[in-house]
Amino acid sequence: MSERVVIIGGGPGGYEAAHVAAQLGAEVTIVDSDGVGGSAVLTDCVPSKTLIATAEVMSDLAGAAELGVEFHDAEGDAATGIRVDLGKVNARVKQLAADQSADIGRRLTRDGVTVLRGRGSLAGADRVVAQLDDGTEQMLRADAVLVATGASPRTLPSAQPDGERILTWEQVYDLTEVPTELIVVGSGVTGAEFASAYLNLGIPVTLVSSRDRVLPGEDADAATVLEDVLTRRGMTVLSRSRMESVTRDGDVVTVTLTDGRTVQGSHCILALGSVPNTADMGLEEAGVVLKDGGFVNVDRVSRTSARGVYAAGDCTGVLMLASVAAMQGRIAMWHFLGDTVHPLDLKKVSSNVFTAPEIATVGWSQQAVESGEMQAEIVTLPLSGNPRAKMQGVHDGFVKLLCRPGTGIVVGGVVVAPRASELIHPVSLAVAESLTADQLAQAFTVYPSVSGSIAEAARRLHRI
């Protein structure tokens, strides 16, 4: 008889696990409350990157004059401005997300996975209660349960979203009018991405950051480049400014800072981090230990403290990325169903901040080297010397490589550039396969290409 796997949550942690489990012959049921694809597809990752695709076009257009492109109307008069139709952009965003969710649903059906629409909770380690949207309830017996319920935007009692002018990142796609003055609170990845996107869409943006600089968790040189670019393009960045409250009076939103200063705008996006969706699910009663903040404690093969119960994705707080959620989910199923499994290795995860320019990172960081956690040689090459970047009018950005002294094995890298998310792949491959800087340098790159700088940085790490 097949093993019965019940998955709670249909985001990347859940649906990727379902594919693996079905492929390995298990009988798989997903209980999902909001639509397969999860927040990743419906409200977070896919919508924000679709919005950013429009922002990128605007950013390219803003730099077009340097490349000799001018805009004129039919009469030949210089066009006065380019405008974004936010209603159209948001409609496209929502349609694309809905279509992707439907695609995922079809693939699950094709693989024989049962998808139940409703809310799941544990009734012990081997039972899931599904309260279905049609009002009925099902008790599902399971040989293994995967909890992949994701996380939700964090809000504060003093900063409550109203869905109109004070918004979480899930609510921005309902905007019908263009904000005249947008305030983004929070300068982590989500805050920086929205601030950069709306700035490029032509909206005045103030970014409220409690830290010294934007993106406190990222490479410091990369964050400095980004902050320079954002301020040069007209963004007001308020650093060391902690939000106390956000209030609304008619059309005016006021952000009050802890030092008493106030910032006013037409709209405010709250990017204050996420809280795991783990409350009232019977987890602790079933023996699942939760960490501080309610995240599920898991090991590197996604096991929780309860036998047969695994967890994957944002609800574990391990690294809040769709790619990591998906890998944790697959690892859980490979482990449970006895296939070959490699424990999760966070030092091989590549990630990207989708600002303009993008910031892509993999492996060990310069910060870890400076704190003595890791020994590595570091080379940084500014893109200003790269021939392709010059041709394209790209002035900001760099390539940074880290390799082990002695062996020359590449252990990390950072790319700050347009499309850095694509450029990081050779570095990611080198880190995953423990290639040396010499090996990375010896592979041909196209001339001229921005990736030529990756090979050049690797050549500079050559030691005799």
Ligand X SMILES: Cc1cc2nc3c(=O)[nH]c(=O)nc-3n(C[C@H](O)[C@H](O)[C@H](O)COP(=O)(O)OP(=O)(O)OC[C@H]3O[C@@H](n4cnc5c(N)ncnc54)[C@H](O)[C@@H]3O)c2cc1C
To ligand X, the closest distance from the beta carbon of 163 in angstroms equals 16
Strands 398-403 and 377-382: antiparallel
Instruction: Report the distance separating Cα 317 and Cα 293, nearest Å.
Output: 9
The residue among 119 and 303 lying less far from ligand X, judged by its C-beta, is 119
Residue 437, strand partner residues: none
To ligand X, the closest distance from the beta carbon of 159 in angstroms equals 17
To ligand X, the closest distance from the beta carbon of 1 in angstroms equals 26
To ligand X, the closest distance from the beta carbon of 13 in angstroms equals 3
Strands 182-185 and 350-353: unpaired
The residue among 32 and 126 lying less far from ligand X, judged by its C-beta, is 32
Instruction: Report the distance separating Cα 15 and Cα 325, nearest Å.
Output: 10
The residue among 209 and 453 lying less far from ligand X, judged by its C-beta, is 209
Instruction: Report the distance separating Cα 269 and Cα 352, nearest Å.
Output: 21
To ligand X, the closest distance from the beta carbon of 241 in angstroms equals 22
The residue among 34 and 221 lying less far from ligand X, judged by its C-beta, is 34
To ligand X, the closest distance from the beta carbon of 383 in angstroms equals 22
Q: Report helix angle 12-23 to 322-336, nearest 10.
A: 30
Instruction: Report the distance separating Cα 397 and Cα 421, nearest Å.
Output: 13
The residue among 14 and 413 lying less far from ligand X, judged by its C-beta, is 14
The residue among 247 and 323 lying less far from ligand X, judged by its C-beta, is 323
- Specify whether the CB–CB gap between 50 and 57 falls below 8 A: no
- Specify whether the CB–CB gap between 312 and 13 falls below 8 A: yes
Residue 97, strand partner residues: none
Element of type H or E holding 189:
helix 189-200
- Among 280, 463, 291, 307, smallest CA distance to 379 is for 463
Residue 445, strand partner residues: none
To ligand X, the closest distance from the beta carbon of 421 in angstroms equals 8
Contact residues for 439 (Cβ-Cβ < 8 A; gap 6+): 430
- Among 16, 1, 21, 67, smallest CA distance to 321 is for 16
The residue among 43 and 386 lying less far from ligand X, judged by its C-beta, is 43
To ligand X, the closest distance from the beta carbon of 327 in angstroms equals 11
To ligand X, the closest distance from the beta carbon of 435 in angstroms equals 24
N- to C-terminal Cα distance for the chain? 60
Q: For the stretch 94-105, what's the b/e string if a residue is b when 16 or more beta carbons lie within 10 angstroms of its beta carbon?
A: bebbeebbeebb
Q: Compute φ and ψ for 442, nearest 5 degrees.
A: -80, -20
- Specify whether the CB–CB gap between 27 and 167 falls below 8 A: no
User: What are the residues binding ligand X (CB under 6 A)?
Assistant: 8-14, 31-34, 38-40, 44-45, 48-49, 119-121, 148-150, 169, 190, 277, 281, 313-315, 320-323, 325, 354
The residue among 352 and 453 lying less far from ligand X, judged by its C-beta, is 352
The residue among 150 and 357 lying less far from ligand X, judged by its C-beta, is 150
To ligand X, the closest distance from the beta carbon of 320 in angstroms equals 4
To ligand X, the closest distance from the beta carbon of 140 in angstroms equals 12
Contact residues for 327 (Cβ-Cβ < 8 A; gap 6+): 16, 344
Residue 8, strand partner residues: 31, 147
The residue among 276 and 452 lying less far from ligand X, judged by its C-beta, is 276
Strands 358-363 and 377-382: unpaired
| Residue at 37: amino acid letter | G
The residue among 131 and 224 lying less far from ligand X, judged by its C-beta, is 131
The residue among 328 and 453 lying less far from ligand X, judged by its C-beta, is 328
To ligand X, the closest distance from the beta carbon of 11 in angstroms equals 2
- Specify whether the CB–CB gap between 84 and 54 falls below 8 A: yes
Structure tokens at 232: 């040069």
Any idea what DSSP says for residue 62? H
